[in-house]
Every structure is written in structure tokens, then in C-alpha cells.
Amino acid sequence: MRRLFLKLFVFSVILFAICLTLVVVLPANEDHYIATLKDKHKRIADLPSPKIVFAGGSNVAFGIDSDIIAAETGMPVVNMGLSVNIGLDYILNELKPYIDSGDIVILIPEYTLVYEAKNPGENPDFRKLFEVFPQATRYIEPNLVLRYSLHSFVDVFQSKIKWLLLRSEFKEGTVARNANVYRRSSFDAYGDMEAHIHLEPQGFYQHDSLAMYTTSEVHPDFISALEEFSEFIHQKPAHLFYTFPPTPEKYYTDNMNGKLYEDIKNILGMNILGQPKDYVYADSLFFDTRYHLLEQSRSDRTKTVLKKLKQVLPSIKP
């Protein structure tokens, strides 16, 4: 019996070693949506200061036209927005090495980040960081890296095997690459998602109303994260502004313009660019979620942010 257990142990060690080797050696999908962080980080690292940095989840990725901002301000711009699922701590931490004196950071978090406690380690988008952007571990608390890495091991192994089997089909055109805009190659040089802007609305797959947030309290984790980041920005010194994600008309209520706005203003004491009502658009102007804008609403929203920014920082006018 001891010899059987020993053989099983040795077999398990060998099997694990093989799997680990495959995880390290096999290529990742370089065109994965999350892999665009490589390009975003290169851009923010290369830009001189002062610069304008947009941060948040996919509402920022899908809903800002950085070319308009750059043309109107004469300043370099980078869009660091990607996914709400990677969590607020990561979204803020990845900016810190690149913020210098005079920079303008415009933070636009989704409402779920403001009012709900989330464990990003449970989300595939977050775990994907370890596969396609290993540098991400620099922006995650050290005590969490090991735990998340272990949780991600099976995901990464399965993902790389799947990509190994499918990538030839992508190259040969067997798989329709244009069927899904969620790809690294769908972003422009600024970090804006642009592959979707001329497509037809897909309808919302998120059907929850925003009404619940008019009676909820801002989550303590959100408050502490923003307070710490605000102090970091102040020490540079740089500028930090907060504004709201877009809202479809079907979800908007007047209470949002009251409680949601007052919560942020009173609790955080931050400079705020407008109110929720300033970023309400017709349902037909959204792509596939209640945060993702199409071309016209994306342009309108960008111009509204710019107008509000110029009101508080008139010095940025070229």
C-alpha cells in the first residue's frame, strides 16, 4: 500500500510539473481583450507630463473619444479604462507609477464599484491578468498574489490549451474574428475601444435597474480606496476629477441626480465633473450593455466631460 501511495505521489508531482511547464511555455492569446493592458501601459509610460489619464471600467474603454480631448486641450491623452471586473484597487494601483506633477486623472467608476463589495479574484477577467499580462502582479497586494495565482492556474492551463487548438483556425479564417469586438486589436493608439462604434445596438444583457443605488450606501471599501488615491494624487501634486458613467434613459431616475451625486460630493469631497443627469442618453445609443456607448453618444459624452473640465481648469485651453 505504501508503494502504491508513493507511486501516486510521484505521478502527481510529474503531472503537476508537466502542467506547470505547459503553462509557462505555451503562448497566450495576444489578441485577448485583457491583453490590451500591454499597449495601455506602454502608452502611459511613454507620455510626457502633464498628460490626461482616463480611468475606470469598460464604460471608459467604450465611451471616451480621446482624439477629441487631445485636439481640444493640446495635451497627450491615454485611456486606461478596461473592465469593472478587475476591481477598483487594481484600477487605481496600476496608475500610480505613471502619475507625475501636473497630470490630470479623470476617474469614472461604474456604479457597481461604488456601492457593491466585489472580490475580483472570482472573476475570469481578473484571473486572465495572470495569463496575458503578468506585470499585473505589481499592482496587486503581495499577500493576494499567491492566492489569486493558485486560483488562476487551472484557468490559465485550460485557456492556453484552448488557444493552442484554436489559433490556427483564427489564422486561416475559420473562426470569424469580427464576430466579437472584445479583442486587443479593437483598441486604437489612445487605448479607446473603437471597433464597435459603427455597429448596430445589440441590446442590454444587463437588465438590472440603477434604482437600487438611490437607496444604497457608498461601500466603505470604495471610500477608503478613493481617499488613499486622492491623497496620493495630492502629494504629486496632480489633479484628480470624478465623474459619472453613462446611463440609458430607461434606467435613469431623478433620485440618481440627488443621492448618487451628493454621496460622492459629500463623502469624498472631490472635484466632480457634472452630475449623473449630464450623461443620460437614448437607449438606442448604447452598444451591448448599459455602459457601452456607440459613436454619437461617445462623442457627445466626451465633449460634455471636456466642457466640465474646462470650467474648472480653464488653463488647459490651447
Domain assignment present for 111: yes
With 80 as the cut, is the pLDDT of residue 38 above it? yes
Query: What span, in angstroms and rounded, lies between the C-alpha atoms of 121 and 87?
Result: 9
Share of the chain above pLDDT 90, in %: 50
Domain assignment present for 290: yes
Instruction: For 137-193, write each residue's pLDDT tens digit.
Output: 899 887 776 666 666 555 655 555 565 556 544 443 433 444 589 999 999 999 999
Domain assignment present for 18: no
Highest mean pLDDT among 179-193, 223-237, 260-274, 295-309: 295-309
Question: Could you tell me the pLDDT band of residue 124, with boundaries at 50, 70 and 90?
Answer: confident
Query: What span, in angstroms and rounded, lies between the C-alpha atoms of 226 and 7?
Result: 53
Domain that holds residue 295: 26-316
Q: How high is the pLDDT of residue 203?
A: 78
Per the prediction, the chain carries an average pLDDT of: 82
Angle (deg, nearest 10), helices 142-172 and 2-25: 70
Domain assignment present for 17: no
Q: Which residue has the higher pLDDT, 308 or 208?
A: 308
Q: Which residue has the higher pLDDT, 42 or 21?
A: 42
Instruction: For 193-245, write each residue's pLDDT tens digit.
Output: 999 998 999 877 555 556 666 667 888 899 899 999 999 999 999 999 999 99
Average pLDDT over residues 17-32: 57
Spatial CB neighbours of 92, under 8 Å, sequence gap ≥ 6: 55, 107, 225, 229
Domain assignment present for 11: no
Domain assignment present for 8: no
- Tally of domains in the chain: 1
Average pLDDT over residues 1-21: 53
**Which CATH number do you get for residue 37?**
3.40.50.1110
Domain assignment present for 292: yes
Per mean pLDDT, which range of 121-125, 161-165, 214-218, 278-282 is the poorest? 161-165
Share of the chain above pLDDT 70, in %: 73
Q: How high is the pLDDT of residue 153?
A: 54
Q: Which residue has the higher pLDDT, 215 or 25?
A: 215
Domain assignment present for 303: yes
